Structure 1
């Protein structure tokens, strides 16, 4: 039995869909009653659980032998996920598949990249069998910029850096194959989309998808911070995003393209152009 954390995320939803379609034994963990009911109406075993409440996680794990571990970036991520790994070990979980990040590094100035590296180290030292997935930046991140994009602008601080943006659904697809096959333990997989794109490329593909010219505006950091804060990002998230794009992306430190998604799934990763077309209504309104 697999416990799927982050079951309501794009990654988790795709993973749950594939597990259900292929009649694999799993349980979806979610935070809210309405999410719980939605899963149960689909015939999916679901349970309430919260990373900040280890006892709820302990209860959710009962009867499972495998854990899919993913959580959103926040200031408590390191504490929450290391505790989750500790609880998993106490409850005799035999295998953990974890979503990390391609830029994870113990010395990183990007807060979640540093946290991911510490969690990865904790998992590898836990004695539990593991597989670590390290995706690059998600295509879905651009859905947080729909308002300026709809007005014809793509604001960023990414300079001319290139990123192999990945659709989060492809990460869910990889997770399904890793969780249901036997030969992935102690492996670390770097995951990316099919092409390396700069912000001008993104703007061009968005323009084509929505039939309106989108212009990339490379903002100074202070201006991008103001924009992020105005759109609801916390100070921690805004500062981290600026550090990520200004240091990792603009200075060309993002990892190069690989073929792991296709190798693991026999399925070509989705292009940004296809992603933009599917979400054109969101980008144009």
Structure 2
């Protein structure tokens, strides 16, 4: 049995779809089973990383799992609870959704938390695989309203170039590993898109598909953080979102060959992603 956590998320949902297409035996752990529209044949269990009873039930009979959790100040303790249950249940292989930039010295809390759990998984008695994607193309959807109504892409990303990756490709790569985990034991994969872009180029790509002019407005991280706080975004999340560019070194912004190797094809391009979401960005 394969267990997917985070099945309602972008990566977990894409992994689930790929596994269903491969006729794999899949179980999902979701917070609200009534609102989950999974595919026929998928075993749906309601629960959370904070519920010991639901974790014990969900992990029974599981040999490999995708561990993907929500960003949260409690993420480390939540993941530790899942890992403890996985050990007791005899789960043989954990595929963990981590991130490029995960480091104990990162200025970004999310990256420090990823590193802490990654280390615990590396030291665990079972097999493991770490998936480390770069920034998701789907993050651009947060700016869709301003892009559509004002022709403006505001972001705290400076002038650096980033290898943005489609979350659906990351989920598809996770599925490849989940159906044949032994071949990927003790591996760490850096998952990037096929091209690096600065945000001026992202704005140009949006304009080409949306059919109207779009300008990139570089915003200082401190100012972007203040905007997010004014919108009611929690302090911990506002800081990480505003300062995320500082999580990546020049080497970490390089294109990796891992994703096309896993997929057996070229990863989806930024233009393909924008075209698929044209309605979100077009007025």
**SS in structure 2 opposite 1:197?**
coil
Q: Does 1:30 align with 2:30?
A: yes
Contact (CA 8 Å) 1:70, 1:98: kept in 2 or not? yes
* Equivalence for 2:238: 238
Contact (CA 8 Å) 2:102, 2:112: kept in 1 or not? yes
* Equivalence for 1:282: 280
In the TM superposition, structure 1's runs of 4+ consecutive aligned residues that sit over 4 Å from their partners are none
Count of matched residue pairs: 281
d(CA) in 2 for partners of 1:95 and 1:222? Answer: 41
d(CA) in 2 for partners of 1:159 and 1:268? Answer: 27
Q: Does 1:71 align with 2:88?
A: no
Contact (CA 8 Å) 1:8, 1:35: kept in 2 or not? no
Runs of at least 5 residues in structure 2 that lack an aligned partner in the other structure: none
1:127 pairs, out of 112, 125, 128, with 125
d(CA) in 2 for partners of 1:134 and 1:18? Answer: 19
Name the TM-score, length of structure 1 as normaliser. Answer: 0.94
d(CA) in 2 for partners of 1:229 and 1:64? Answer: 41
Alignment of 1:200-215 (within 5 A): 200-215=200-215
d(CA) in 1 for partners of 2:221 and 2:175? Answer: 38
Alignment of 1:48-127 (within 5 A): 48-127=46-125
d(CA) in 1 for partners of 2:250 and 2:128? Answer: 30
Contact (CA 8 Å) 1:162, 1:254: kept in 2 or not? no
Q: Does 1:196 align with 2:184?
A: no
* Equivalence for 2:174: 175
Q: Which moved more, 1:23-32 or 1:114-123?
A: 23-32
* Equivalence for 1:187: 187
Q: RMSD between aligned alpha carbons?
A: 1.5
Contact (CA 8 Å) 2:161, 2:253: kept in 1 or not? no
